[in-house]
Amino acid sequence: QKEVEQDPGPLSVPEGAIVSLNCTYSNSAFQYFMWYRQYSRKGPELLMYTYSSGNKEDGRFTAQVDKSSKYISLFIRDSQPSDSATYLCAMSAVGEYGNKLVFGAGTILRVKS
Amino acid sequence: GAVVSQHPSWVICKSGTSVKIECRSLDFQATTMFWYRQFPKQSLMLMATSNEGSKATYEQGVEKDKFLINHASLTLSTLTVTSAHPEDSSFYICSATSQGAGDTIYFGEGSWLTVV
């Protein structure tokens, strides 16, 4: 079993739809959770960063963390064609991992105009 | 926000030669830098963790003599692919963070290496 599971998609939605991207993890030591967006042939770009259970909102993006279920989500409201990219969840723990990130496989998102 | 710069963005080299990729943190001191490799349509694979002034820690299965990592200063880490072969062709990405667990990790734009 992988430490971080993420459905690779692709996920195809119409413009304006609400997108839900999810990851599950098995290591309860993970304390820090991130979502990155990666356009084709580019480096990952940090979208959201959180370290506590609950919701964090930034513009059209909402990150949700449920540590009891070991489940994190990223919601994108009013999706745009420019949101089409690969979305990677990542997480890290203190101690053993330090700042070393463990990535999900990435979900390919396609927003159709 | 913090910026991490990689150079070169694209490089083509002949089989058997070595190529160096630079990773610079432009507006913060990066105590730790990470090097990743990414194949098409796959996620990032951590190759090594580099702390300033000390030897890099390589992940299992990564050849340390082939992928030389140097982190000589708080703003610069380099990855040298030695005696490159076509199977080394890949997208190499660095990331950097400042001291302290949980500090945000920022990624460079990546470097495409093609070995012919």
pLDDT in tens, A3-59: 899 988 899 999 999 999 999 999 998 988 999 999 988 899 989 988 888 999 999
Q: How many CB pairs under 8 A join A and B?
A: 59
Q: Is A98 on the interface with B (CB under 8 A)?
A: yes
A96-100, B14-18, B24-28: which is most confident? B14-18
Q: What is the pLDDT of residue B17?
A: 97
Q: Does A92 touch chain B (CB under 8 A)?
A: yes
Lowest-confidence region among A4-13, A91-100, B11-20, B87-96: A91-100
B2 in contact with chain A, both atoms CB, cutoff 8 A? no
A43, A45, A99 member nearest B101 (Cβ):
A99
Choose between B34 and A98: higher pLDDT: B34
- Lookup result for tokens 């610079």: B24
Q: Which residue of A has its CA nearest to B50?
A: A100
Residue of B nearest to A102 (CA): B46
